[in-house]
Structure 1
Amino acid sequence: MSRNIHKEEEDVSSDVHKLQQLLLALGRRRSLRDPIASTCEQLQFTPPQVHALLWLGQDGALTMGELARRLGVTEKTVTGVVDRLEREGHLLRERSASDRRVVRCRLTPDGQATFQKLERFMFQGMGQLLSILDTSDRKALFRILEKLLRRIDSSATAPSPRERSA
């Protein structure tokens, strides 16, 4: 069993290298920037600010901790992101009535309008990228991404292969 796990790790390592090489080759031909990255500069937002607006627009009010987790930043860093967006009228902070320590961020009407603008730019950018693929390739891409999500969800509760062999 240990040999199979070692072989599986080698296969994944080889595949990581292959994916990295393919992404580098793609990046040499076409920018791999986030489809809305140029919008950041046009609207004078940082990428974390744009992503904060997108998450809040998609999912509604989020706690500071949840927003930090989704942005992949510390809670200290998210405070600066939220401070600027609040100062510019895009969001507001709300304290929980049941637990005053909990602070949620919510888009203002101006923030909602900015979110809709960002969403249009993102939709156009993704459309340009997906239009390179034919229908069957897009379906294969979606099938793979859906499988990846299912496996991530199931692995969050299941032991890893290494834990199972111990």
Structure 2
Amino acid sequence: MNKSIKNVLNELLVDTFNEILTIEQMALKSGRLNDLSATEIHTIEAIGMYIPRAMSEVANDLGITVGTLSTAINNLVKKGYVERKRDEKDRRVVKITLTKKGKLAYRVHEKFHSDMIKETIKGLSEEEEKVLAGALGKLNEFFKIKYNIKKR
């Protein structure tokens, strides 16, 4: 691969990553979820819609400590997006779940991503979609291996 293609790919990757983060934050601030940060919406996403989860599970999925997650959960509880519940079988274990407001935030964020993907592949042939997915999959796998990131 020649140097100019490497430079173009580097610029595209960096710009795309930064733009996705910026657009996501702008979408949050301009919509119904204007009291959430991108980090908080990703915490909501990691908690999930239906099954109460232990703090350690969610922290592991996000690649953060339980202490860091506790701070985020405290804020999300205050804002009404998350609630804590003691496990019925083991009262020492605290599970976290989304409230109705949290589930709405989850669905709104999910739609944002769905719309982003639809726009990304609009106008691509099925073959081009496969090539794009394959290339992004290889890039994703590289980062997970290189930086020892656990798979979600």
Same structural fold, with TM-score higher than 0.5 when normalized by the shorter chain: yes
Q: Which amino acid aligns with 2:116?
A: G
Deviations 1:21-77 (A, max 9, x none): 724334347844246333333323122210121223356322111111222221111
Rounded Cα–Cα distance in structure 2 between residues aligned with 1:29 and 1:67 = 27
- Which structure would you say has the larger Rg? 1
Rounded Cα–Cα distance in structure 1 between residues aligned with 2:41 and 2:97 = 14
Which secondary structure does the structure 2 equivalent of 1:36 belong to? Answer: helix
List alignment gaps of at least 5 residues for structure 1.
1-13, 153-166
Rounded Cα–Cα distance in structure 1 between residues aligned with 2:105 and 2:16 = 31
1:87 pairs, out of 78, 86, 89, with 78
What is the aligned-residue RMSD (CA, Å)?
3.2
List alignment gaps of at least 5 residues for structure 2.
145-152
Deviations 1:6-25 (A, max 9, x none): xxxxxxxx9xxx98972433
Q: How many pairs align?
A: 133
**Cα–Cα, structure 1 residues 28 and 36, in superposed 2: closer, same or farther, change >3 Å?**
closer
2:96 pairs, out of 89, 100, 105, with 105
Percentage identity across aligned positions?
Answer: 21
Matched with 2:120 is 129
Matched with 2:46 is 55
Rounded Cα–Cα distance in structure 1 between residues aligned with 2:35 and 2:6 = 33
Give the conservation status (yes or no) of the 8 Å contact 1:48–1:71.
no
Q: TM-score, normalised by structure 2?
A: 0.68
Which secondary structure does the structure 2 equivalent of 1:98 belong to? Answer: coil
Question: Higher relative contact order by CA 8 Å / sep ≥ 6: 1 or 2?
Answer: 1
